[in-house]
């Protein structure tokens, strides 16, 4: 039959594409399927969403607001710009990101619609269907969502809670095979709040160098580290391993809805020449991020006072200290003290809470009885933990701890010693 021959269909059949069918967000799927019915006698305390703006207690910097207002009033940033972002904004990002050992220029920067868009472009550009990328476990679910939608497999290397969630390097090396296209490294970490030492990052880089694998560095929480600790951009620690570093304004500046992210192409020995061209072409699918926010970027990055960062970090660190001290004293709970970002992972001994088969059951019951909502670690491809967000108002931290303690007291069951409920 002539392929040009038209034949009327007798019924509608409009299927979704393969990519659409393969796109699956674990967090949304799990949360949407949970039976979240809060206790009507207790106000809901949501410790679940990594959005620092939810409670209104952590305002964005005034400098940022003024910069956006000025961009609006100037009426010079209302049109289309380059798909990779306007030069002025890219120059500001390059200056902000550059270190003595890893200097980049505007030509190495691609601006995106948030860090998730940056990750999307990097994964799409580095891997083909049938290949795999290594991601951390527990890890941010977007890596899995993005990769599997494209037919790219994910292999999850374990993080070690007893070592402040350092990567299990032996496990990472075991997973690498001929189809591995890249390693994703998250530092500082969501959901763990870990901040890697220079030595640990260098050990990861040594593996990447050994197997000649590029690194996708999720560094959206750059410099978001507690006092006494130091953030090391992974690209600053290597002269050989190519690194695509993904970041943005979202977390440090407390403006997730502004959707301004970036990719920093840290090329080594010109091995990313094709990748760089590919990222530029992929950026043309979106045609650049928000033009008004781009216009504000130079002032935001250059003029935000250091006191703003310090006050934000001190606030979150104080909350982390309270959560850690209080929850450490609850039998059956094992919180892991974070070193940065805005999260804490809390483990529970499943043998002491036998009525809960999974962490989803545990957190769902916590909502039903105490109106405290934490994300189950199943959202991060892990089990028997839950993640709490540290950006809530301090008075809610104490109340949340009281409720979690009461919940655990009611359900604690030490079978070996014949103790259950309130008796311990």
The whole domain housing 269 covers 62-303
Going by C-alpha positions, the residue among 265, 211, 210 that lies closest to residue 242 is 265
For residues 361 and 261, state if they share a domain. no
**Per-residue pLDDT for 418 more than 60?**
no
pTM above 0.75, yes or no: yes
Token readout for 354 is: 């036998």
What local confidence, expressed as pLDDT, does residue 419 receive?
55
What local confidence, expressed as pLDDT, does residue 423 receive?
43
For residues 261 and 159, state if they share a domain. yes
- For residue 189, give every residue at least 6 positions away whose Cβ sits within 8 Å of its Cβ, in sequence order, or none: 136, 159, 165, 195, 221, 341, 343
What local confidence, expressed as pLDDT, does residue 183 receive?
98
Q: What CA–CA distance (Å, rounded) separates 55 from 46? A: 10
What local confidence, expressed as pLDDT, does residue 3 receive?
61
pLDDT tens per residue across span 325-366: 999 999 999 999 999 999 999 999 999 999 999 999 999 999
What local confidence, expressed as pLDDT, does residue 4 receive?
67
Provide the pLDDT confidence category of residue 29 given band limits of 50, 70 and 90. Answer: confident
Token readout for 383 is: 């089990």
**Per-residue pLDDT for 295 more than 80?**
yes
Q: What CA–CA distance (Å, rounded) separates 110 from 86? A: 9
Mean per-residue pLDDT, 115-131: 97
Mean per-residue pLDDT, 166-172: 98
3-state helix, strand, coil in the chain (%, to 5): 40, 15, 40
Q: Are 229 and 264 in contact (CB under 8 A)?
A: no
pLDDT tens per residue across span 357-375: 999 999 999 999 999 999 9
Give the C-alpha distances (Å, rounded to integers) separating 350 from 83, 160, 361. Answer: 50, 18, 11
Q: Are 282 and 265 in contact (CB under 8 A)?
A: no
Q: Number of structural domains, the chain?
A: 2
Query: Which DSSP letter does residue 256 get?
Result: G
For residues 294 and 377, state if they share a domain. no
- For residue 98, give every residue at least 6 positions away whose Cβ sits within 8 Å of its Cβ, in sequence order, or none: 104
What local confidence, expressed as pLDDT, does residue 229 receive?
94
Does the residue 345 lie in any domain? yes
Helical segments of 211-305, H only: 273-283, 291-303
Helical segments of 177-288, H only: 198-210, 273-283
What local confidence, expressed as pLDDT, does residue 31 receive?
75
Helical segments of 106-168, H only: 115-126, 142-149
**Per-residue pLDDT for 203 more than 80?**
yes
Q: What CA–CA distance (Å, rounded) separates 123 from 143? A: 8
Q: Are 255 and 62 in contact (CB under 8 A)?
A: no
For residues 269 and 145, state if they share a domain. yes
For residues 321 and 419, state if they share a domain. yes
Does the residue 55 lie in any domain? no
pLDDT tens per residue across span 375-386: 999 999 999 999
What local confidence, expressed as pLDDT, does residue 238 receive?
97
Quickly count: other Cβ atoms within 10 Å of residue 273's Cβ: 10
Q: What CA–CA distance (Å, rounded) separates 148 from 146? A: 6
What local confidence, expressed as pLDDT, does residue 416 receive?
54
pLDDT tens per residue across span 244-262: 999 999 999 999 999 999 9
Q: Are 214 and 301 in contact (CB under 8 A)?
A: no
What local confidence, expressed as pLDDT, does residue 175 receive?
98
What local confidence, expressed as pLDDT, does residue 153 receive?
98
Mean per-residue pLDDT, 211-219: 98
**Per-residue pLDDT for 125 more than 60?**
yes
What local confidence, expressed as pLDDT, does residue 424 receive?
39
Does the residue 121 lie in any domain? yes
Does the residue 276 lie in any domain? yes
Does the residue 361 lie in any domain? yes
For residues 33 and 112, state if they share a domain. no
Does the residue 415 lie in any domain? yes
Q: What CA–CA distance (Å, rounded) separates 240 from 15? A: 46
What local confidence, expressed as pLDDT, does residue 344 receive?
98
C-alpha 372 chain-centroid distance: 22
Q: Which helix or strand (DSSP H or E) is residue 415 part of?
A: none
For residues 270 and 353, state if they share a domain. no
**CA angle (115, 224, 241) in 5-degree steps:** 60
Q: Are 384 and 348 in contact (CB under 8 A)?
A: yes
pLDDT tens per residue across span 5-23: 777 888 998 999 999 999 8
Helical segments of 150-267, H only: 169-175, 198-210
- For residue 324, give every residue at least 6 positions away whose Cβ sits within 8 Å of its Cβ, in sequence order, or none: 335, 337, 344
For residues 237 and 322, state if they share a domain. no
What local confidence, expressed as pLDDT, does residue 341 receive?
96
Mean per-residue pLDDT, 89-111: 97
**Per-residue pLDDT for 415 more than 70?**
no
Provide the pLDDT confidence category of residue 305 given band limits of 50, 70 and 90. Answer: very high
Q: Are 326 and 83 in contact (CB under 8 A)?
A: no
Mean per-residue pLDDT, 28-55: 86
What local confidence, expressed as pLDDT, does residue 252 receive?
93
What local confidence, expressed as pLDDT, does residue 28 receive?
73
Q: Which helix or strand (DSSP H or E) is residue 262 part of?
A: strand 261-266
Mean per-residue pLDDT, 39-68: 93
Mean per-residue pLDDT, 182-207: 98
For residues 242 and 325, state if they share a domain. no
For residues 374 and 248, state if they share a domain. no
Decide which of 15 and 109 is more confident.
109
What local confidence, expressed as pLDDT, does residue 304 receive?
97
- CATH (domain of 243): 3.40.640.10
What local confidence, expressed as pLDDT, does residue 173 receive?
98
Kindly give the pairing relationship between strand 215-218 and strand 180-186.
Answer: parallel
What local confidence, expressed as pLDDT, does residue 420 receive?
60
- CATH (domain of 413): 3.90.1150.10
For residues 23 and 103, state if they share a domain. no
For residues 29 and 150, state if they share a domain. no
Quickly count: other Cβ atoms within 10 Å of residue 245's Cβ: 28
Percent of the chain at pLDDT above 70? 96
Does the residue 12 lie in any domain? no
- For residue 193, give every residue at least 6 positions away whose Cβ sits within 8 Å of its Cβ, in sequence order, or none: 165, 320, 336, 338, 339, 340, 341, 342, 343, 344, 345, 390
Kindly give the pairing relationship between strand 215-218 and strand 243-248.
Answer: parallel
What local confidence, expressed as pLDDT, does residue 357 receive?
96
């Amino acid at each position: 039959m002539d392929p040009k021959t038209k034949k009327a269909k007798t019924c509608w059949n409009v299927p979704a594409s393969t990519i659409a069918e393969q796109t699956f967000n674990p967090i949304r799927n799990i949360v949407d399927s949970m039976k979240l019915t809060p206790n009507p006698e207790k106000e809901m305390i949501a410790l679940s969403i990594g959005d620092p703006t939810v409670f209104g207690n952590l305002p964005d910097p005034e400098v940022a607001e003024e910069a956006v207002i000025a961009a609006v009033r100037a009426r010079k940033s209302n049109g289309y710009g380059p798909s990779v972002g306007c030069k002025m904004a890219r120059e500001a990002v390059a200056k902000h990101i550059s270190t003595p050992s890893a200097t980049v220029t505007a030509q190495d920067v691609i601006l995106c619609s948030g860090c998730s868009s940056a990750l999307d472009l990097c994964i799409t550009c580095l891997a083909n269907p049938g290949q795999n990328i290594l991601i951390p476990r527990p890890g941010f679910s977007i890596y899995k969502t993005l990769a599997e939608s494209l037919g790219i497999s994910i292999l999850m290397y374990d993080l070690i809670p007893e070592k402040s969630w350092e990567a299990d390097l032996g496990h990472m090396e075991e997973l690498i095979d001929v189809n591995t296209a890249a390693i994703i490294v998250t530092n500082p970490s969501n959901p763990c709040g870990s901040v890697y030492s220079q030595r640990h990052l260098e050990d990861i880089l040594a593996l990447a160098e050994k197997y000649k694998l590029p690194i996708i560095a999720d560094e959206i929480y750059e410099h978001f580290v507690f006092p006494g600790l130091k953030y090391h951009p992974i690209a600053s620690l290597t002269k050989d391993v190519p690194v695509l570093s993904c970041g943005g304004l979202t977390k440090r500046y407390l403006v997730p809805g502004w959707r301004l992210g970036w990719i920093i192409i840290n090329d080594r020995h010109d091995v990313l020449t094709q990748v760089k061209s590919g990222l530029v072409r992929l950026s043309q699918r979106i045609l650049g991020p928000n033009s008004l926010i781009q216009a504000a970027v130079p002032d935001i990055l250059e003029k935000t006072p250091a006191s703003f960062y310090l006050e934000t970090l001190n606030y979150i660190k104080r909350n982390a200290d309270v959560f850690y001290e209080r929850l450490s004293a609850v039998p059956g709970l094992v919180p892991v003290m974070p070193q940065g970002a805005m999260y804490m992972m809390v483990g529970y001994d499943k043998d002491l809470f036998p009525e809960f088969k999974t962490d989803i059951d545990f957190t769902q019951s916590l909502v039903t009885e105490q109106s405290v909502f934490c994300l189950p670690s199943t959202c991060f491809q892990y089990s028997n933990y839950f993640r709490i967000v540290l950006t809530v108002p301090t008075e809610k931290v104490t109340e949340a701890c009281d409720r979690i303690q009461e919940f655990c007291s009611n359900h604690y069951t030490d079978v070996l010693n014949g103790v259950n409920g309130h008796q311990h």
